[in-house]
Chain A
Amino acid sequence: TQLLKQSPQFLSIQEGENLTVYCNSSSVFSSLQWYRQEPGEGPVLLVTVVTGGEVKKLKRLTFQFGDARKDSSLHITAAQTGDTGLYLCAGVTQGGSEKLVFGKGTKLTVNP
């Protein structure tokens, strides 16, 4: 069972375009993180969101946590080739044994 579903799985766009990727679940998370991973490297933390409805901006990247804390989105404005990579969301499960669970990621390619 996949706790966190990311969509789309693959996305190829031209430089300058806008895009949104999604991270959805039927479970509630106490917090959610977004990571970017480049080939041959480990994931790098971009942002943590903890409050339902929270919006965080990181330059051209906008992250939103759903009101019910079950889903999140990442919007990139005016994509650049340097944005190319695998975008992973990860949520901290609630309950007795808290764990960080990862989605399978969205592989983004920004073409020049």
Chain B
Amino acid sequence: GAGVSQSPSNKVTEKGKDVELRCDPISGHTALYWYRQSLGQGLEFLIYFQGNSAPDKSGLPSDRFSAERTGGSVSTLTIQRTQQEDSAVYLCASSPTTKHYEQYFGPGTRLTVT
């Protein structure tokens, strides 16, 4: 079946502009996660959605970052007033209800802020 998809695959933007990154999880997966991966670093947790519960936003690095998940499926990560330090690969993952911590990742969006 179809895996997690993310778009765009690459995004180059100028400092100060807003960007939106999209994630389509595996159908039927109720949990959705966003991570950031910088060069030479592990995955940094950003935000987690589980069903209709309030999202866990504890990993968002600043109020310039926000995310929403519409209809329990597609999610959008928005970064406002981008900074050069926001350059990274942004990964989305989804997980089925019964195996909450076994995550299936998308290919990521590589964001470059110039």
Contact = CB atoms under 8 A, between A and B. Distances in A.
Contacts of B25: none
Interface string B75-114: 0000000000000000101000001011111111000000
Contact of A48 (B40, B56, B102): B102
Nearest to A31: B101
Question: What size tier do the contact residues of chain B reach?
Answer: 20 to 34
Given A33-B101, A42-B91, A92-B101, A104 B106 contact: no
B43 interface: yes
A13 interface: no
B21 to A, nearest CB: 13
Interface in A6-42: 31, 33, 35, 40-42
A105 B35 CA distance: 15
B39 to A, nearest CB: 11
Given A42-B4, A42-B91, A42-B93, A104 B41 contact: yes
Interface residues of A, number: 23
Interface in A56-102: 88, 90, 92, 97-102
B1 interface: no
A43 B42 CA distance: 11
A103 B107 contact: no
Contacts of B42: 4, 88, 102-105
B24 to A, nearest CB: 13
A40 B107 contact: yes
A17 B29 CA distance: 39
Nearest to B99: A48
